[in-house]
C-alpha cells in the first residue's frame, strides 16, 4: 500500500501551506542527491517527498486527495502525481527548484544535467462522458487527441542569446547601485536551444499537429467533475531537453434514465398499483448490473423505501459499495367504473381501510432523514 502523503512529510492533515512547504524543504534537503550520492534509498525518499508536496501544495489536488486518497491519482498513468514512475530528478528540480534556494548549486538538475533548463510542453484538456454503469465497473476509454509533436527532421542548436542557460542576466543602475536580475530568454523562451532546421509545414518551434488515440483508464467510483491526468500526452516541448505536457481529463457523468446518484448510493422510483400494494407483488427493477426482481410485501405503504445492499456504486478508495434505495409509490386510480366505485364505497367504513400507522411506519421527514444519513 502506498504511503500517506501527510506521513511522508511528517505533518498533520490540518497543516497550513507554509507548514507543508517547510516540511518538504526539510525532507528534500535531508535526502537531496548531493548529500546522498549513489544512495538509492535516499533518492527514492526524495522522490516520494516531491510527489507528496506536488499534491498537498495544490489546493485542488489536496482536496481530491483528502476525499479519495491515492486512488484519485492512480489510474494507469492518469494520475496527478507520479514522480516515482513517470518523472525524474530534473522534473522535480524544474518544478520545485525554488524550494532549495542556492544551497545546492542553485537548485539545478541531478547528476550531469544540473543547470540544464527543462521546458515542459503545454497541457491539453478534454471532457470524457461516462455512464453510471461505467462508473460502477471502471472503464478504459480511447479518445482521439490532436497534439503538437516535433516534426521529423527538426533539429536544434544552443541558443546564442543565453548560451544554453535559458535565462539572460540584466544589470540595471538604480539609486541603490547596480542590480542584477535574471529573466527567461526572449529568444528560446527558456529552452536553452533555438531552431536550427525547420521542416516544411512545421510552425516556428518545429512542431506539427498529429492526431493520436490515447487510452484513459477511468477507475470505478469516480464522480462528476473529477480531473484525471495522462502524463506526457499533452503538447511536445521545443528542443532536445524538454518534456511533453499532460492530457487533463475532466469526468462528466451522464444522467441515467431511472437511477439517480447520491454519493455511493443510488435511488430509483418503483410505481405499483393499489392491488399490488394490498396483495403484494414481484416486480422487476433496473440496477447498474442489470435487471433484478424484488418482492413487494402485502400491505406495502406508499413512500416505503426498500434498501438493496451492495447494489450501489463502489468507493473510489475501494473501501466499500453503496446501496440501491427503491422508493415505493402507490398509484391511486383516477378513473373507476361503476363496479369498482361500488367496491370502494362498500369498504369506505371498513376498519381494514382505516389508516392505522404503527411506530415502525416512519413519517416523511424521518424517511428523508434516513435517506441522507
- SS3 of 189-230: the string is CCCCEEEEECCCCCCCCCEEEEEEEEEEEECCCCCCCCEEEE
Phi/psi at 152 (nearest 5 deg)?
-60, 130
Is the domain covering 119-147+209-254 a CATH 2.60.260.20 domain? Answer: yes
Residue 109: predicted pLDDT: 38
List 146's β-bridge partners, or say none.
211
Q: If the chain, 373 residues long, is cut into consecutive pieces of 10 residues, what is the mean pLDDT of each piece? A: 87 90 88 78 88 87 84 54 46 53 42 56 94 94 94 91 86 75 83 88 91 93 91 90 90 93 94 93 93 93 93 86 95 90 87 76 60 57
Under DSSP, is residue 111 helix (H, G, I), strand (E, B) or coil? Answer: helix
The Cα angle at residue 103 between residues 101 and 105, in degrees rounded to 5: 95
Q: Where, residue-wise, is CATH 1.10.287.110 in the chain? A: 1-118
Q: How many helices and strands, by DSSP H and E, does the chain display?
A: 10, 15
What does the chain come to in residues?
Answer: 373
The CATH homologous superfamily to which domain 260-372 belongs is Urease metallochaperone UreE, N-terminal domain (2.60.260.20)
Q: Which residues of 277-303 are buried (b: 16+ CB within 10 A; e: fewer)?
A: beeebebebbbbeeeeebebeeebeee
- Asked whether the beta carbons of 55 and 198 are under 8 A apart, the reply is no
Contact assessment for residue 266 and residue 307, using Cβ atoms and an 8 Å cutoff: no
Q: How many CA atoms lie within 13 A of 40 on its CB side?
A: 0
Which runs of E-coded beta strand occur in the chain?
A: 124-130, 139-150, 155-158, 167-174, 177-184, 193-197, 207-218, 227-230, 247-253, 260-262, 265-273, 281-287, 290-296, 305-308, 324-331
pLDDT at res. 95: 54
Which residues touch 266 (CB under 8 Å, ≥6 apart)?
132, 259, 260, 287, 288, 311, 312, 313, 322, 323, 324, 325
Task: Give the 3-state secondary structure of residue 55.
Answer: helix
Count CB atoms within 10 A of the CB of residue 47.
Answer: 20
Every domain of the chain with CATH number 2.60.260.20 lies at 119-147+209-254, 260-372
Q: Which three cell numbers stand for residue 164?
A: 544554453
Tell me what pLDDT residue 267 has: 96
Residue in this structure with the C-alpha cell 469516480, named with its chain if needed:
222
Nearest to 284, CA basis, from 268, 300, 260, 298: 268
- Assigned superfamily of 1-118: DnaJ domain (1.10.287.110)
What pLDDT, on the 0 to 100 scale, is given for residue 35?
76
What's the confidence (pLDDT) of residue 67?
83
Question: How far is 117 from 108, CA to CA, in rounded Å?
Answer: 8
Burial environment of residue 256 by CB neighbours within 10 A (0 to 12, 13 to 18, 19 or more): middle
Using CA atoms, how far apart are residues 45 and 43, in angstroms rounded to an integer? Answer: 5
The predicted structure's pLDDT at residue 112:
37
Amino acid at each position: 500500500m502506498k504511503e500517506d502523503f501527510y506521513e511522508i512529510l511528517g505533518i498533520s492533515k490540518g497543516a497550513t501551506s507554509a507548514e507543508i512547504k517547510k516540511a518538504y524543504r526539510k525532507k528534500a534537503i535531508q535526502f537531496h542527491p548531493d548529500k546522498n550520492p549513489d544512495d538509492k534509498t535516499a533518492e527514492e525518499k526524495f522522490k516520494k517527498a516531491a510527489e507528496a508536496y506536488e499534491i498537498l501544495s495544490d489546493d485542488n489536488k489536496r482536496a481530491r486527495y483528502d476525499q479519495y486518497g491515492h486512488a484519485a491519482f492512480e489510474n494507469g498513468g492518469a494520475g496527478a502525481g507520479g514522480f516515482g514512475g513517470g518523472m525524474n530528478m530534473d522534473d522535480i528540480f524544474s518544478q520545485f527548484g525554488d524550494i532549495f534556494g542556492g544551497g545546492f548549486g542553485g537548485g539545478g538538475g541531478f547528476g550531469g544535467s544540473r543547470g540544464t533548463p527543462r521546458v515542459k510542453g503545454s497541457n491539453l484538456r478534454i471532457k470524457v462522458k461516462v455512464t453510471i454503469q461505467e462508473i460502477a465497473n471502471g472503464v478504459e476509454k480511447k479518445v482521439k487527441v490532436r497534439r503538437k509533436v516535433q516534426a521529423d527532421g527538426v533539429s536544434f542548436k544552443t541558443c546564442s542569446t543565453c548560451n544554453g542557460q535559458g535565462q539572460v542576466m540584466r544589470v540595471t543602475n538604480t539609486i541603490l547601485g547596480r542590480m542584477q536580475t535574471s529573466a527567461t530568454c526572449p529568444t528560446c523562451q527558456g529552452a536553452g536551444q533555438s531552431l536550427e532546421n525547420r521542416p516544411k509545414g512545421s510552425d516556428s518551434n518545429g512542431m506539427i499537429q498529429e492526431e493520436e488515440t490515447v487510452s484513459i483508464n477511468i477507475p470505478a467510483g469516480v464522480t462528476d467533475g473529477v480531473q484525471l491526468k495522462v502524463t506526457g500526452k499533452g503538447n511536445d516541448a521545443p528542443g532536445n531537453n524538454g518534456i511533453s505536457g499532460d492530457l487533463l481529463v475532466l469526468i462528466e457523468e451522464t444522467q441515467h434514465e431511472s437511477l439517480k446518484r447520491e454519493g455511493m448510493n443510488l435511488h430509483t422510483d418503483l410505481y405499483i398499483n393499489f392491488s399490488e400494494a394490498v396483495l403484494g407483488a414481484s416486480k422487476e427493477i433496473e440496477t447498474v448490473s442489470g435487471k433484478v426482481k424484488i418482492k413487494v410485501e402485502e400491505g406495502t405503504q406508499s413512500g416505503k423505501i426498500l434498501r438493496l445492499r451492495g447494489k450501489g456504486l463502489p468507493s473510489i478508495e475501494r473501501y466499500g459499495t453503496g446501496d440501491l434505495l427503491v422508493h415505493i409509490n402507490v398509484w391511486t386510480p383516477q378513473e373507476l367504473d361503476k363496479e369498482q366505485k361500488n367496491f370502494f364505497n362498500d369498504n369506505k367504513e371498513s376498519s381494514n381501510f382505516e389508516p392505522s400507522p404503527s411506530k415502525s411506519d416512519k413519517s416523511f421527514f424521518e424517511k428523508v432523514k434516513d435517506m441522507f444519513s
